[in-house]
Amino acid sequence: MVYPYELKCSLIIFQGRPKGVTPKFSLAPLVPRLSELLGIQVVKADDCIGPEVEKLVASLPDGGVLLLENVRFYKEEEKNEPEFAKKLASLADLYVNDAFGTAHRAHASTEGVTKFLKPSVSGFLLQKELDYLVGAVSTPKRPFAAIVGGSKVSSKIGVIESLLEKCDILLLGGGMIFTFYKAQGLPVGSSLVEEDKLGLATSLLEKAKAKGVSLLLPSDVIIADKFAPDANSKTVPASAIPDGWMGLDIGPESVKTFSEALGTTQTVIWNGPMGVFEFDKFAVGTEAIAKKLAELSGKGVTTIIGGGDSVAAVEKVGVADVMSHISTGGGASLELLEGKELPGVLALDEVERVAV
């Protein structure tokens, strides 16, 4: 097998959302660490296109690596302008996309360049992401459970609807649960509720029942008298949230019920925290789920952490290394789990595509 950096390799990387050339978003600080990781001296270009960059590419020895400057210094990058993409493409003979986290964006460096470079292929990381987030979810070892958390139902509608078509067990947590509670006529106090999504919550509950999916909502919650790390808190049944109090985490009985359900599974995917895990007092539920998945992973269960805050949670608990797969994508993971096609993947010539 020949790796790109055994030939000549130009690396395209972006950082931040600069408005034009912004020194603090320069990629120069990456050079020492990148050189250390690759075991060679990486050359840094002061631009990502143009005559000077072309000269550096031409002088690059076999096995040399050239780091191009931040492509987002050009507004043409995010606009996916063909002429800019063509200039990027002129620096290479083939294209390897290993940036799963941006595969859901049709930018010049992720989609545009593929029109001018053949072959355009996936890297190992991108392929691994597809194998897990598409392959393992489409043909999972069963029972297959999905854990979906987060603050709003609206941000996870597509994910929930897609997973209801595939999973055997669906566990819901995070702020979204209070919209489901209110849809069932339960008191929610001052908890976050999306009033315009009450009908949707009801329909999702009905859909789960019709499909025979075991949908579990927390039976108890930890509530607070204000949204703050030092808030007064107590545990109450999900049906007994008093006025003036808000739910910020799932309760101990819910952790026990969720853990028992997860203990019956062979595949688990997790996207979204169970509570406001940024506040230690309300991180207990999220951390308990992370520890349970680590335990299951050690027993051979496939555990997939689907990007975003869930990744931060398992890293905080210190169990990231034992999970089967930790996704590097936030928005890309969500869109893939929703069954959407990613522009950065569709643009490639040789990547194993599995229909969701």
Query: Does one domain contain both 332 and 278?
Result: yes
Kindly state the percentage of the chain with pLDDT values over 70: 96
Residue 35 has what pLDDT? Answer: 97
Computed over every residue of the chain, the mean pLDDT equals 94
Residue 354 lies inside a defined structural domain of this protein: no
The single residue listed with the structure tokens 């329909």 is 203
* Cα 108 to Cα 89: distance, rounded to the nearest angstrom: 10
Closest to 341 measured CA to CA, from 136, 153, 134: 134
201 within a domain of the structure (yes/no): yes
The reply to whether 69 sits in an annotated binding site is no
Do 79 and 183 lie in one domain? The reply is: no
The order of strands in the sheet holding 246-250 is 233-237, 220-224, 246-250
pLDDT for 15 equals: 84
**278 annotated to a ligand binding site:** yes
Q: Is 197 among the annotated ligand-binding positions?
A: no
Provide the pLDDT for residue 330.
85
pLDDT of residue 53: 97
Residue count of the chain: 356
Query: Measured between alpha carbons, how far is 276 from 166 in angstroms, rounded to an integer?
Result: 28
Paired sense of beta strands 220-224 and 233-237, if any: antiparallel
Q: Tell whether 74 and 208 lie within a shared domain.
A: no
Average pLDDT, stretch 140-160? 94
Full domain range(s) for residue 198: 129-337
177 and 247 inside one domain? yes
138, part of any domain: yes
Position 71 in a domain: yes
Single out the residue in 68, 102, 127 at which a domain terminates. Answer: 127
200 and 103 in a common domain: no
- Would residue 315 count as lying in a domain? yes
Does 174 count as an annotated binding residue? no
CATH of the domain at 28: 3.40.50.1260
The pLDDT tens digits of the residues spanning 75-109 come to 999 999 999 999 999 999 999 999 999 999 999 99
Dihedrals phi, psi of 254, to nearest 5 degrees = -65, -40
Whether residues 38 and 140 share a domain: the answer is no
Residue 353's pLDDT band (boundaries 50, 70, 90)?
very low
Query: Is residue 75 domain-resident?
Result: yes
Q: How many CB atoms lie within 10 A of CB 92?
A: 18
Short-list 48, 52, 63, CA closest to 8: 63
* Statement to judge: residues 269 and 300 lie in one domain: yes
| Residue 122 located in a structural domain | yes
- What pLDDT shows up at residue 217? 99
Q: Which tens digits make up the pLDDT trace of 179-234?
A: 999 999 999 999 999 999 999 999 999 999 999 999 999 999 999 999 999 999 99
Question: φ and ψ at 247, to 5 degrees?
Answer: -80, 130
Q: How does 116-128 read in b/e, with b if 16+ C-beta sit within 10 Å?
A: bbeebbbbeebbb
The residue among 83, 105, 127 that closes a domain is 127
Residue 247 labeled ligand binder: yes
Q: Are residues 237 and 299 in the same domain?
A: yes
Q: What is the pLDDT of residue 115?
A: 97
pLDDT score recorded for residue 350: 61
- Are 52 and 159 found together in one domain? no
CA dihedral sign of residues 279, 280, 286, 291: positive
CA distance 181 to 217: 9
Q: How far apart are CA 201 and CA 9, in angstroms?
A: 50
Residues 6+ away with beta carbon under 8 Å from 170: 145, 146, 148, 160, 163, 164, 208, 213, 214, 215, 216
Domain boundary residue among 127, 156, 172?
127
Asked whether residue 159 is domain-assigned, the answer is: yes
Cis, peptide link before residue 119, omega less than 30° from 0: yes
Residues 198 and 223 in one domain: yes
For residues 82 and 335, the model is more confident at 82
Q: Are 45 and 73 within one domain?
A: yes
Is 356's pLDDT higher than 60? Answer: no
Tokens of 70: 């931040």
The answer to whether residue 21 scores a pLDDT higher than 70 is yes
Residue 38: the pLDDT is 95
CA atoms of 42 and 19, how far apart (whole Å): 26
What confidence score (pLDDT) does residue 4 get? 54
Q: How many domains does the chain have?
A: 2
H or E, element range at 224: strand 220-224
Same domain for 18 and 98, yes or no, is yes
